Amino acid sequence: DEFLARKPANTVPGRIRALICPHAGYVFSGAVAAEGFQQVPKDTNRVVILAPSHHLGMRGGGSILDVQAFRNALGDVPVAPAARELLQNCPFFMSIPQAHAAEHSLEVMLPFLQRRLASFSLVPIVLGQDFDTRAMAEAL
């Protein structure tokens, strides 16, 4: 809350469609992350997070956890139906629970979004290495 309460040093004109954001611990990157999340329009209703895998080497794509919601201290964030569609229709997306079990890169972003947005659904993707970035971008 403290980071999001600060006035952003810079603002982006227009409506942003993507954000590259740090995902280290809040003491290290919270202020910078908050500046980015303050640019996200408050009426955003679906968020796709592409998070790197720090603990599990995956080749050829990414993992989308096949769950109904992500839960943290601020409550549940529903997983968008589009996430299940990606799992069913795109060969480079799979559900690998181990990829999410010890991974912080996605979870550290959720509280910023929960405080910024009234209501949103999530497409949570933990990325591996060596995948066709163009095909993945087209699928998304």
Give CA–CA dist 45/52, Å, rounded: 23
Q: Is the pLDDT of residue 10 over 80?
A: no
Answer yes or no: pTM beyond 0.95.
no
CA dihedral 58, 61, 62, 63 (to 10 degrees): -80
Give CA–CA dist 99/93, Å, rounded: 12
Q: Is the pLDDT of residue 111 over 90?
A: yes
* For residues 111-122, average pLDDT: 94
Report the 3 state secondary structure along 73-84: CCEEEEECHHHH
The CATH superfamily assigned to 2-139 is: LigB-like (3.40.830.10)
Average the pLDDT over each of 29-43, 96-110, 116-130 and give the range with the smallest value: 96-110
Strand order in the sheet with 93-94: 46-52, 121-127, 62-64, 93-94
Instruction: Find out whether 78 and 119 touch, Cβ atoms under 8 Å.
Output: no
Q: Is the pLDDT of residue 33 over 80?
A: yes
Within 17-120, strands assigned E span 46-52, 62-64, 69-72, 75-78, 93-94
Residues whose CB is less than 8 angstroms from the CB of residue 28 and which lie 6 or more positions away in sequence, other chains included:
22
Tens digit of each residue's pLDDT (9 = 90 or more) over 53-100: 777 777 777 888 889 998 999 999 999 998 888 888 888 888 888 887
